[in-house]
Amino acid sequence: MEHVPYASAVGSLMYAMVCTRSDISQAVSVVSRFMANPGKTHWEAVKWILRYLKGTIDTCLCFGGDACHINGFVDSDYAGDLDRRRSTTGYVFQIHGVPVSWRSMLQSTVALSTTEAEYMAVAEGVKEALWLRGLLDDLGMKQECVKLSCDSQSALHLAKNQVHHARTKHIDVRYHFVRDVVEEGNISLTKVHTDENSADMLTKVVSGSKFQHCLNLLNIIPYSSKI
């Protein structure tokens, strides 16, 4: 594998992912973990992503709606990384119905429960929501409250409940800033059904039908379908 341009190919995929192609975020996040010592299966995965991009080269963003409001979705898998048993955080934010900010990333620590993994993901989503809120304020588009949706009722309860419990007292203090942000009214955390959470495709491998549904939720569609 020493003569295979693995790092170069993954770097090119990262450029596409960061700029426009949120749909390959989870796949690129996985293959980028093996930059130091890639195997044949990893190279096959990279070539699969390249083939996918070639086959969807006419994909576009379909803007809609008049109000310039930030609408975010956040999700997490649980211990999906088999090597280190870390969970994956995924979030996506939309303005006028299309994604403007997204990320798929391994969490920095091992979560001991699905609630903790989702709560850590919510914390990352809240940080991005605050940054986007400040950016739009600077551009003259003031955002009173940013809506962030999550499909974990227990994580939402933890974010809104100031009481410490034995099962949650080990969670790093830095994640609890979410409670202050919610209490101040800068972020509104809401429950969304798993089937309607577009960030689901950023955290794990999903079926083809679910992947297409997430693309539709994000208004990522073939250009030919709009002609």
What's the rounded mean pLDDT across residues 45-70? 89
> Which domains, and CATH codes, for the chain?
1-57 (no CATH), 70-200 (3.30.420.10)
Cβ atoms 44, 169 nearer than 8 A: no
Q: If you average pLDDT over every residue of the chain, what do you get? A: 90
For 22-44, what is each residue's pLDDT tens digit?
Answer: 999 999 999 999 999 999 999 99
194: pLDDT strictly greater than 90: yes
User: 127, 60, 57: which is closest to 93 by C-alpha?
Assistant: 127
> Using CA atoms, how far apart are residues 98 and 100, in angstroms rounded to an integer?
6
> Using CA atoms, how far apart are residues 85 and 55, in angstroms rounded to an integer?
33
What's the rounded mean pLDDT across residues 114-119? 90
Q: Which two tokens stand for residue 182?
A: 């919610």
Q: Cα 53 vs. chain centroid, distance in angstroms? A: 19
Partners of 92 in the beta sheet? Answer: 73, 102
For 64-112, what is each residue's pLDDT tens digit?
Answer: 866 788 999 999 999 998 888 999 999 999 999 999 999 999 999 899 8
pLDDT of the residue at 159 = 84
Read off the pLDDT band of 163 (50, 70, 90).
low
Number of C-beta neighbours around residue 123 at 10 A: 22
pLDDT of the residue at 10 = 96
User: 31, 30, 157: which is closest to 81 by C-alpha?
Assistant: 30
> Using CA atoms, how far apart are residues 7 and 182, in angstroms rounded to an integer?
41
| H or E stretch at 54 | helix 40-55
> Using CA atoms, how far apart are residues 136 and 125, in angstroms rounded to an integer?
17
> Using CA atoms, how far apart are residues 80 and 84, in angstroms rounded to an integer?
9
> Using CA atoms, how far apart are residues 135 and 120, in angstroms rounded to an integer?
23
166: pLDDT strictly greater than 60: no
- Strand ranges (E), the chain: 59-61, 70-76, 88-95, 98-106, 146-150, 187-191, 220-222
9: pLDDT strictly greater than 60: yes
175: pLDDT strictly greater than 80: no
Q: How large a percentage of the chain has pLDDT more than 70?
A: 92
Residue partners of 200: CB distance under 8 A and separation at least 6 = 75, 90, 151, 194, 206, 210, 214
User: 155, 124, 137, 143: which is closest to 186 by C-alpha?
Assistant: 143
What pTM, to 2 d.p., does this model score? 0.91
For 121-162, what is each residue's pLDDT tens digit?
Answer: 999 999 999 999 999 999 998 888 999 999 999 889 888 876
Q: Any idea what DSSP says for residue 29?
A: H
226: pLDDT strictly greater than 60: no
> Using CA atoms, how far apart are residues 26 and 101, in angstroms rounded to an integer?
14
Read off the pLDDT band of 227 (50, 70, 90).
low
- Strand ranges (E), 26-169: 59-61, 70-76, 88-95, 98-106, 146-150
